[in-house]
Chains A and B, each alone.
Chain A
């Protein structure tokens, strides 16, 4: 860990976590949004357990996806506005690692809490205990993908004034496979004799793919935006 590149990676993660702790609203707002959306579905939809249970995987995943989308704007915005992004781009250390550090910190602050509260929300939606493994694993594998893909879109729209709508249009289509396989893995857990393994393996493969390529694309997008 004495490698300067790793030191800069750790410094960046630490910096973003510190800022998140000092500006708690950015950390808590997406979490509250996630909880509210899921609970609203539970209140609004037919109270028969079978109906609620059938739609629960989709509800949990759509809520996680929207919540991630809500949190994406904060990923690079303040660094862009106060000039820190220019400093980051001029650092002699790998921009790939610095971007990865920022996305990791962002996921720890906005994605991991969703995974932690998901079992409680799943109980509210009537999901049986036997699906908890699929629920947690799919979110653990899928939410980092949402952050990694979202970072590309966020970096691309940094210079635009009305970026909120643009980011939804840019990123939501990319989220579709994660949504299908994430919700699919939990649904498979609901069916006797069905296995969720292929879904989870696909999510794991997608995570590896985005871990390798998304920071490269984000770094390139940041260089374009800063011009």
Chain B
């Protein structure tokens, strides 16, 4: 069993003059889910961006397997899948073209696009432009990025937004499998998450 760790030491983040969070510490290991909670504007998305390496902390440090996370480190980026608040799905491309593009931009997955479409129940829409899909269908395309990435760290910003019940359950199952297989996940969600056999840490952000 491989062991991966994500540590935050004294993490502080400002938005303009406003302090979003200060001196934040956490330690997440393989087979653990870190749930970030807090009301709107408390800095949940900013924290996810910090962890993804999309922004730098104003103070403190983030360590992946004991090494500082560098914004330009391609090795760290190979280990993570990020699904942000905006889904990153191009409206002008078809579902299939979006999936192929993701496979070409990231480490290729062992799953074929057809398998992914079938499991996400998007076979019928594969040649439809993503702009014509519902918000929930587009969210499924975005989540496919994490589901089939074979990365160790999933960073998910409100992944259940607009998902129907069946997809919600399918995704929870996939998340559970990911965590059981030595993965880690950091997530924000307004939905309560309960995954049997998985350790869940909760981090409340307060402004």
Which residues on A are within 8 Å of B, measured CB to CB?
Answer: 4, 7-8, 11-12, 15, 18-19, 22-23, 81-84, 86-94, 98, 223, 226-227
Contact = CB atoms under 8 A, between A and B. Distances in A.
B78 interface: yes
8 contacts: A11-B104, A22-B129, A82-B91, A83-B85, A86-B88, A90-B53, A92-B77, A227-B56
Contacts of B80: 90
B105 to A, nearest CB: 5
B52 to A, nearest CB: 6
Contact of B84 (A11, A15, A18, A83): A83
Interface in B121-169: 129, 145
Contacts of A223: 71
B74 interface: yes
Interface in B87-142: 87-93, 97, 100-102, 104-108, 129
> Which 7 A-B residue pairings sit nearest by Cβ, starting from the closest?
A83-B86, A11-B104, A83-B88, A227-B55, A92-B78, A87-B88, A19-B92
A90 B104 contact: no
A92 B87 contact: no
B85 A88 contact: no
B21 interface: no
B126 to A, nearest CB: 16
- Specify which of A15, A92, A94, A227 lies most central, judged by the most chain B CB atoms within 10 Å of its CB: A92
B89 A90 contact: no
Nearest to B138: A82
A11 B74 contact: no
Contacts, number: 77
Given A87-B82, A223-B71, A82 B90 contact: yes
A23 B92 contact: yes
Given A83-B85, A86-B82, A93 B90 contact: no
Contact of A87 (B71, B92, B93, B105): B105
Contacts of B91: 82
B23 interface: no
A218 to B, nearest CB: 14
B128 to A, nearest CB: 13
A158 B55 CA distance: 15
Contact of B77 (A7, A11, A22, A91): A91
Given A84-B88, A89-B54, 14 more contacts: A4-B108, A11-B100, A12-B105, A15-B97, A15-B101, A18-B93, A82-B90, A83-B85, A84-B90, A86-B88, A90-B52, A90-B53, A227-B49, A227-B55
B104 A8 contact: yes
B197 to A, nearest CB: 29
Contacts of B86: 81-83, 86
A186 B85 CA distance: 50
A100 to B, nearest CB: 14
Nearest to B86: A83
Nearest to A15: B101
A7 B104 contact: yes
A51 B122 CA distance: 63
A90 B77 contact: yes
A12 B107 CA distance: 15
Contact of A90 (B54, B93, B101, B108): B54
Given A90-B52, A227-B56, A82 B87 contact: yes
A34 B118 CA distance: 47
A86 B49 CA distance: 9
